[in-house]
Amino acid sequence: MDVKTAFLNGNIDETIYMVQPENFESNDSKQLVCRLKRSIYGLKQASRQWYRKFDQVITSFDFKENIVDQCIYLKFSGSKFIILVLYVDDILLASSDVGLLHETKRFLSSKFDMKDLGNASFVLGIHIHRDRSRGILGLSQKAYIDKVLSRFGMSNCAPRDTPVAKGNKFSLHQCPKNELEKKDMERFPYASAIGSLMYAQVCTRPDIAYIVGMLGRYLSNPGMDHWKKAKRVMQYLQRTKDYMLTYRRSSHLEIVGYSDSDFARCLDSKRSTSGYIFMLAGGAVSWKSVKQTLIASSTMEAEFIACYEASNHGIWLRNFVTQLRIVDGIEKPLRINCDNKAA
């Protein structure tokens, strides 16, 4: 569901004046200004005021917010439940009962000017695939990836099997060293390309998390080697744009984590890179690749730091899922796998 002119629903606590809109003023009122009664797009507090208004309305309908992620709400009615996800002015609803779903839609429509878009198929560039007969749900970004490839002139590029070549190295020595080289690199939309790749990585593509994170370290002064490696990631996406995250219906739901680390692969700082991924219902639900803040003196230390970071996120994820009250296996100890015996 989509909320029309969402920010106008928010009340403002401050006294704010604005210049009259263009073509609104008359000759007799040019010296006058407007006093805002509602929040509008562009105010620093607009998003916050809209959230406070929505929270007030939805909690009055017996929804409870997830204290770990306050844009997710849950309501139980006997054995039936409904989950509401709010993303700015977009609302996703998932319920175990059709009647409860329609009741919630009617309530929201009575409080806000809403547009019911029906079953969710595309959300924020993510395509939702359903196969109810087999109990399978998939998430992909083929259309988004096609747009990215077209935007950077890579629609007809030769596909690659991997996002990064074995033995590839990244260093500040590959960055421009003088103003002439920096000026030459301005021809390439490096930052825009990395940002576009990062959105795909965050949403549905954990397989490019490492390389996108690595390339992101050179946004302030990228070199030609970095640009070529970014194009290779696009070539990999050309081959794998049909890939999707897949989740299967299961009576046994358990979150399982996997942790890994390289060792001192950052040539500039000698720091290692941690990586983790958490699985639920047969698919990845959370992942990250990040440079460690400490310098490890051994592979054991690097792996142990990675396990620590994975454990921190695992605790957050466990608390988040516990708030949903629909995963029984979450009461068991959280399993995190590491491929280093010493760690």
Report pLDDT digits (tens) over 3-17.
Answer: 888 888 888 888 889
Q: What is the band of 330 on the pLDDT scale with cuts at 50, 70, 90?
A: low
**Cβ-count burial 284-318 (b if 16+ within 10 Å, e if not):** bbbbbbeebeeebeebebbbbbbbebbeebbeebb
The dihedrals phi and psi of 150, each to the nearest 5 degrees, come to: -65, -40
Mean pLDDT of all residues in 56-77 = 92
Residue 66 has pLDDT above 60, yes or no: yes
- On average, the pLDDT of the chain sits at 90
Q: Which domains does the chain have, with CATH numbers?
A: 2-118 (no CATH), 140-240 (no CATH), 250-338 (3.10.20)
- Helix, strand, coil fractions of the chain, as percent rounded to 5: 35, 20, 40
Q: In which band, very low, low, confident or very high, does the pLDDT at 307 lie, cut at 50, 70 and 90? A: very high
Q: What does DSSP say about strands 283-291 and 34-35: parallel, antiparallel, or unpaired?
A: unpaired
Q: Give me the percent of the chain exceeding a pLDDT of 90.
A: 61
Per-residue pLDDT band at 239 (split at 50, 70, 90)? very high
3-16: b (≥16 Cβ within 10 Å) or e? beebbbbbeeeeee
Quick check: 18 and 34 in contact, CB under 8 A? yes
Mean pLDDT, residues 90-97 taken together: 91
Q: Over range 150-162, report the average pLDDT.
A: 94
Mean pLDDT of 14-33: 81
Q: Using the predicted structure, report yes or no on whether residue 331 has a pLDDT greater than 90.
A: no
Structure tokens at 292: 């460690």
* pLDDT at 300 (0 to 100): 92
- d(C-alpha 171, C-alpha 313), whole Å: 29
- Of the listed ranges 27-31, 76-80, 197-201, 287-291, the least confidently predicted one is 27-31
CA angle, corner 137, sides to 135 and 139, nearest 5? Answer: 170
> Are the beta carbons of 210 and 182 closer than 8 angstroms?
no
Model confidence, pTM: 0.86
Look at residues 318, 307, 253 and name the one whose alpha carbon lies nearest to residue 283: 253
Q: Measure the CA–CA gap between 58 and 65, rounded to whole angstroms.
A: 9
